Amino acid sequence: MHALAAPSGPELESLLAPLGDVAYTADRCAALADLVREINALKRTRHAVILAHNYQRPELFQVADFVGDSLELAREATRVDAETIVFCGVHFMAETAKILNPTRRVLLPDLRAGCSLADSVTAEDLAERKAQLRAVYPDLAVVGYVNTTADVKAECDACCTSSNAVRVVEGLPSEHILFVPDQNLAAYVQSQTRKSIIAWDGNCYVHHQITPEQIGAVKAALPHVRVLAHPECRRDVLALADAVLSTSGMVRYAHESDATEFLVVTECGLSDRLLLEVPGKKFYKSCKLCHYMKMITLEGTRDALRDLQPEITLPEDVRVRAARALERMFELGG
Ligand code: 13P
Ligand code: SF4
Residue 211 and residue 181 share a domain: no
Predicted confidence band at 334 (pLDDT cuts at 50, 70, 90)?
Answer: confident
For the segment 78-121, what is each residue's pLDDT rounded down to a tens digit?
999 999 999 999 999 999 999 999 999 999 999 999 999 999 99
How many A from CA of 30 to the centre of ligand 2? 30
User: What is the arithmetic mean of pLDDT over 30-39?
Assistant: 96
Distance CA 116, CA 201 (A): 12
Distance CA 166, CA 173 (A): 13
Residue 102 and residue 39 share a domain: yes
Residue 80 and residue 221 share a domain: no
Q: Is the peptide bond before 315 cis (omega within 30 degrees of 0)?
A: no
Number of structural domains (the chain) is 3
Helices (H), 53-193: 58-61, 70-79, 91-100, 123-136, 150-153, 165-171, 183-190
Ligand 1 atom nearest the C-alpha of 230 is 3
- Nearest protein CA to atom 5 of ligand 2, as residue: 290
Helix (H) or strand (E) holding 264: strand 261-265
Q: Quick one: pLDDT at residue 20?
A: 58
Residue 74 and residue 47 share a domain: yes
Q: Quick one: pLDDT at residue 324?
A: 98
Q: Quick one: pLDDT at residue 247?
A: 96
- In short, whether 120's Cβ falls inside 6 Å of ligand 1 is no
Residue 28 and residue 108 share a domain: yes
Q: Is the pLDDT of residue 11 over 80?
A: no
- The residue with greater pLDDT, 274 or 17, is 274
- Nearest protein CA to atom 6 of ligand 1, as residue: 70
- In short, whether 286's Cβ falls inside 6 Å of ligand 1 is no
Question: Counting Cβ atoms within 10 Å, is residue 243 exposed (0-12), middle (13-18) or buried (19+)?
Answer: middle
- The residue with greater pLDDT, 298 or 25, is 298
Distance CA 90, CA 104 (A): 18
Predicted confidence band at 5 (pLDDT cuts at 50, 70, 90)?
Answer: very low
For the segment 145-200, what is each residue's pLDDT rounded down to a tens digit?
999 999 999 999 999 999 999 999 999 999 999 999 999 999 999 999 999 999 99
Residue 106 and residue 247 share a domain: no
- In this structure, are residues 86 and 312 in contact, taking their beta carbons and an 8 Å threshold? no
Residue 124 and residue 181 share a domain: yes
Distance CA 19, CA 292 (A): 9
Residue 92 and residue 63 share a domain: yes
For the segment 251-299, what is each residue's pLDDT rounded down to a tens digit?
999 999 999 999 999 999 999 899 989 989 999 988 899 999 999 999 9
Ligand 2 atom nearest the C-alpha of 116 is 8
The answer as to whether 7 is a domain residue is no
Predicted confidence band at 23 (pLDDT cuts at 50, 70, 90)?
Answer: confident
**Residue-range definition of the domain harbouring residue 91:** 19-115+294-307
The answer as to whether 10 is a domain residue is no
Residue 87 and residue 71 share a domain: yes
Predicted confidence band at 3 (pLDDT cuts at 50, 70, 90)?
Answer: very low
Residue 75 and residue 27 share a domain: yes
Residue 195 and residue 324 share a domain: yes
Residue 322 and residue 198 share a domain: yes
Q: What CATH number has the domain bearing residue 266? A: 3.40.50.10800
- In short, whether 247's Cβ falls inside 6 Å of ligand 1 is yes
Other CB atoms within a 10 A radius of the CB of residue 119 amount to: 17
- Nearest protein CA to atom 7 of ligand 2, as residue: 204
The angle at the Cα of 249, spanning 114 to 201, to the nearest 5 degrees, equals: 45
Ligand 1 atom nearest the C-alpha of 207 is 10
Q: Quick one: pLDDT at residue 143?
A: 98
- In this structure, are residues 113 and 89 in contact, taking their beta carbons and an 8 Å threshold? yes
Question: Counting Cβ atoms within 10 Å, is residue 4 exposed (0-12), middle (13-18) or buried (19+)?
Answer: exposed
Q: Is the pLDDT of residue 16 over 70?
A: no
The answer as to whether 9 is a domain residue is no
